Amino acid sequence: MTDRNRWTRREFLTVAGASLAGAALFSLNVDGNRSPSALTAEARAVEPVINPKTLEKPNLVIGYVPVNDCAPFAIAWKKGFCRKYGLNVKLNREASWATSRDGGIFGRLDALPVVSGAVTNARTGAEGARHAPLCAAMTIHRHGNAITMNRAMWESGLRPWQDYNGNLEAFSQDFHRYFSSLPCEKRIMAVVLSSAIYEYFVRYLIAAVGINPLEEFRIMVVPPPQMLVNMRIGAMQAYMVAEPWNTRAIKGNEGIGFTFAQGREIWRGHPDRVLAVQDSFIEENPKTYRSLVKAMIEACRYCSDPNHRQEVAQLVSERSFTGAKPKLTRPGITGLYNYGGFDDRQRIVNKPDETTIFFNLPSDLAAAEGNIAGNHSTFLWQSQSLWLMTQSAR
């Protein structure tokens, strides 16, 4: 060994220590647990109105997925609403909607958000869903999602639904022209979970233009944060997901696609996420269950306040939640929404009261639901589940 290659013990330990530290930092960035790990000072300052000792199970593990609709969970954690009602909650970041759902089914999570329709299918075992006695406690929010199409679809002549002014025939012609030019194996759209509302919306859209979605299209399942990379490599032509993964795709951000339509343009007032628990959780922990629902409703009300929307958008941009820049989380929460496009036209719609509905209903939507006293977006309607079941059986 030459002098150049001869290290002293001190030099070896110094370099080895630096290497290990670098490896540790790298693993934190890529594989580390990004869930919030401790209560905020704001939460610790909250005085509980319910004594935790009176609850059957005050310590809970609740899942969330890194999309905008984790906002009520983030707010409940930051503002101390769970602590207020006697709960000590550990938030657990889930890799996908499937892992969130399965976490509830197998008991790893006490409560969890699921895509609308997943609870009904779990209870009935429809469409091959894993049979489990899940129960929907409340709607976490309505709307807040969209369909993104790739740039090739734009260049073929497809445009956002609002550009068609309700002309389904014109859209149908553009849609047919694009997909008829593709081989069958390339006719792919993606959703975040099978047998749930996003898949039903995509099927509904395809069927509306006279195409059999079960025979002529493949619908694949992709976790929300992986949608853009899969579109970029050509794995699918379009996808449906919650924000901020639609806004991130448009020109001025990633520039790989445009927003065709928000989910509210397909079904205005639809439930997007529900809070799910096992039947046994309610039966064995009725007081805890009430505390959980109270905390989440209070968080939803906070998110719904226009004065809080900027704060909420900033919070969900944190690394523990979506990890997306505030300019990406903000449109879906504040309502100043850009559909994008690859021309010079501005397609910005300002709908702060309904782009994502956390609690307060727009007046005309409340009227459509009968102007029932005390009706808010967190309320679950049987009629909504009936529509989901009809689409499951379609």
Phi then psi for residue 338, to 5 deg, are -105, 120
| pLDDT higher than 90, residue 340 | yes
Tens digits of residue pLDDT in 280-313: 999 999 999 999 999 999 999 999 999 999 999 9
In 3-state terms, what secondary structure has residue 260?
strand
| pLDDT higher than 70, residue 34 | yes
Tell me how many helices (H) and strands (E) the chain has.
17, 13
- The region of weakest confidence among 20-34, 151-165, 345-359 is 20-34
224 prior amide bond cis, ω within 30: no
DSSP notation for 262-316: EGGGTSTT-EEEEEEEEHHHHHH-HHHHHHHHHHHHHHHHHHHSGGGHHHHHHHH
| pLDDT higher than 70, residue 20 | no
Give the β-pairing of 88-93 and 59-64: parallel
| pLDDT higher than 50, residue 22 | no
pLDDT, average across residues 21-49: 64
Which residues fall within 8 angstroms of residue 111, CB to CB, at 6 or more apart? 60, 62, 63, 104, 137, 275, 276, 277, 281, 292
| pLDDT higher than 50, residue 190 | yes
| pLDDT higher than 60, residue 246 | yes
Give the β-pairing of 145-150 and 257-262: antiparallel
- CA dist 236 and 220 (Å) reads 8
Tens digits of residue pLDDT in 368-377: 888 998 899 9
Q: What is the pLDDT of residue 21?
A: 37
pLDDT, average across residues 261-288: 96
Taking alpha carbons only, the member of 296, 295, 326 closest to residue 312 is 326
Taking alpha carbons only, the member of 203, 220, 247, 205 closest to residue 338 is 247
Q: What is the pLDDT of residue 122?
A: 84
End-to-end CA distance of the chain: 75
DSSP notation for 25-88: HHHHHHTS--S--S--HHHHTPPPSS-GGGSS--EEEEEE-SSGGGHHHHHHHHHTHHHHTT-E
- CA dist 277 and 143 (Å) reads 22
pLDDT, average across residues 165-184: 95
Give the β-pairing of 348-350 and 238-242: unpaired
- CA dist 252 and 256 (Å) reads 10
33 vs 140: which has the higher pLDDT: 140
- CA of 104: how far to CAs of 132, 385, 386, in Å? 9, 20, 23
- Burial class, 21, CB count within 10 angstroms (exposed 0-12 / middle 13-18 / buried 19+): exposed
pLDDT, average across residues 245-253: 97
User: Looking at the DSSP assignment, which residues form a beta bridge with residue 241?
Assistant: 146
| pLDDT higher than 60, residue 164 | yes
pLDDT, average across residues 348-366: 94
| pTM beyond 0.85 | yes
Q: What is the pLDDT of residue 35?
A: 82
* Average pLDDT value over all residues in the chain: 89
| pLDDT higher than 50, residue 384 | yes
Q: How confident is the model at residue 268 (pLDDT cuts 50, 70, 90)?
A: very high
Q: What is the pLDDT of residue 126?
A: 63
Which residues fall within 8 angstroms of residue 374, CB to CB, at 6 or more apart? none
Max CA pair span of the chain: 87
